[in-house]
Amino acid sequence: MARQFLNTLEDPIVQTKAGKLRGFLLDGIYTFHGIQYADADRFQLPHPVAPWDDVRDATNYGYICPVHANPAPSSELFIPHRFWPANEHCQYLNVWTPGLDGRKRPVMVWFHGGGFSDGSSIEQVAYEGDALAAYGDVVVVTVNHRLNILGFLDMSSFGEKYANSVNAGAADIVASLEWVRDNIAAFGGDPGNVTIFGQSGGGRKVKTLMNIPAAEGLFHRAIMMSGGVRPDPDKTTNADHRQLVEKMLEILKIPVDRVEELETVPYELLNRAFFRASEGQVLPNMRWGPVANDWYLGDPFKVGFSEYAKTVPTMVGTVMAEFTAMAKPEQYALSEAEQEAVVRAHFGDASDELIAQFHQAYPGKPLINLDRLDTSTRLGATRFVDLKVAASSAPTYQYLFALNFDIMDGVPAWHCADIPFVFHNTHRVACCNIPGVTQKLEDEMAGAWVSFAYSGNPNHAGLSKWKPVTDKHETMIFDRESLCRSNYDLPLLRRMDEVCPPKSADEILMDNMKKDGKQENSWMY
């Protein structure tokens, strides 16, 4: 049967504040790709786009931001990706909506992973918003913004012109929410009911927005998925950045008194100069991100939450194995006795205690999961939740995605594995399809995210009761049988952390990026 499609000179067209846009209709969902929400000169804060008189095409994705290194082909079966042309003028977003009918639907604005260094709004196939828009009767928005050098290089020591260059990329994100406020009603969305959500680096972007005064009132609920749940890395000082920039100028043969010439150096040359200049310095690529100043209050872990953030209902969660799921995948096929041998070799004298705690916390799970169990992100999430609950008048909900997939004899949920379920996009990711499991779990998760967007409460008819967090650390466990549990795994995780402190996510990612003596981007974010 042919799918319903519409794209004519007259329909669908939406009037935005800056001008008219033409999208397309497919199977009941109106789609508008590549909407420019702002523009900016290099190292400067964004500004609104100039109005136009004609009808602009919105059927192509917009430019994504250039990144430090090309991704290396890997993990496509687990995290299918797409690639797209890059340009530093990358302030584009995408909109999916069930109707251009004047209704006020909840709006869900997605911020992609990749830290503040990599990624894009369309990089993962699972980011497509049509299925979630249809399932939940919501408007879905995904956002590109400036990253790495372009979005977060601290040039402030070179004059007032660059006073907030270190937060330019975060300012793009705020500008995207301003665009939503000013225009989303024309797409059938409610600017007074906006949920921001993101995974990995996207979760950190959500956390950042909570403490940016300029973002207050632009969102009303927040969801952090496997990101933002630990204190931000310590930033280098202005002097460190000045030294870095001066070294880049030297490499590029530009005198310091002509620093403005950095604004026109092609990105490829600028990027090359950055890596040469930063060699041996405390400026790893993973540490790009906003810095506290008059514009950004700072990391809530370090300065607390803004008064506005305290009023925002929040969901926070992680997945079972995060960055360790793919370590030695052949071990998932081991016998029970062989799995126990692996665990005992890893944990030594603490093995008996940890094995007993694991079986109590995760009944029915293969013991090899104990060797893969994420502690860093999960414990970080519990600490963030404690901080938010103590400070906030709004409820906070906590979850863990704990599914063991059928692929490779039972790989536990990896970093990004929850995204297809949240977006109701498991049909786009082959390994997510498990007979008798996928549809129910996908409806539970997408339903919870949609319910939260509607009301600030994730409970819905298809899910067991999900309680907000108290001192009992209530957590919804999304699995083959989903249920909310209290105080179920913290003793295990804390003991594991004592016995065998894990590498940080930054360390793991940096390890993954160094292959065959050259730097490559990992897709596992």
In a domain, 476, yes or no: yes
pLDDT for position 520: 46
In a domain, 337, yes or no: no
Which one of 117, 120, 200, 482 is the catalytic residue?
A: 200
Helices (H), 22-161: 130-136, 148-152
SS3 label, residue 476: strand
Is 322 tagged catalytic? yes
DSSP 233: P
Query: Which residues lie below 8 Å from residue 111, measured CB to CB, with a gap of 6+?
Result: 143, 173, 196, 197, 198, 201, 202, 205, 206
The mean pLDDT of 229-245, rounded to a whole number, is 78
Cα distances (angstroms) measured from residue 19 to each of 15, 48, 417: 6, 12, 38
- Quote the percentage of the chain above a pLDDT of 70: 93
Q: Which domain holds residue 393?
A: 62-236+283-324+373-525
pLDDT for position 163: 96
**At residue 524, does pLDDT exceed 50?**
no
SS3 label, residue 224: strand
In a domain, 138, yes or no: yes
Greater confidence (61 vs 241) lies with 61
**At residue 4, does pLDDT exceed 80?**
yes
Band of pLDDT at residue 515, cut at 50, 70 and 90:
very low
Helices (H), 306-437: 336-347, 351-361, 368-372, 376-391, 419-422
> pLDDT tens, 433-477?
999 999 999 999 999 999 999 999 999 999 999 999 999 999 999
In a domain, 456, yes or no: yes
Q: Average the pLDDT over each of 233-242, 323-332, 368-377, 412-421 and give the range with the smallest value.
A: 233-242
The mean pLDDT of 274-282, rounded to a whole number, is 77
- Quote the percentage of the chain above a pLDDT of 90: 86
> pLDDT tens, 15-26?
999 999 999 999
pLDDT for position 521: 47
pLDDT for position 359: 96
Is 200 tagged catalytic? yes
Q: What is the CATH number of the domain that holds 102?
A: 3.40.50.1820
pLDDT for position 386: 97
The mean pLDDT of 277-285, rounded to a whole number, is 63
Give the count of domains, the chain: 1
In a domain, 399, yes or no: yes
The rounded distance, in Å, linking the Cα atoms of 209 and 141 is 16
Q: Please tell me the pTM assigned to this model.
A: 0.95
pLDDT for position 282: 47
pLDDT for position 516: 42
In a domain, 355, yes or no: no
Contact 116, 201 (CB under 8 A): yes
pLDDT for position 501: 73
Give the relative orientation of helices 336-347 and 351-361 as an angle to the nearest 10 degrees. 120
Which one of 145, 241, 415, 473 is the catalytic residue?
A: 415
In a domain, 277, yes or no: no
Q: What is the mean pLDDT of the chain?
A: 93
pLDDT for position 127: 98
Cis peptide before 12 (omega within 30 of 0): yes
In a domain, 307, yes or no: yes
Greater confidence (74 vs 303) lies with 303
Is 415 tagged catalytic? yes
Contact 200, 115 (CB under 8 A): yes
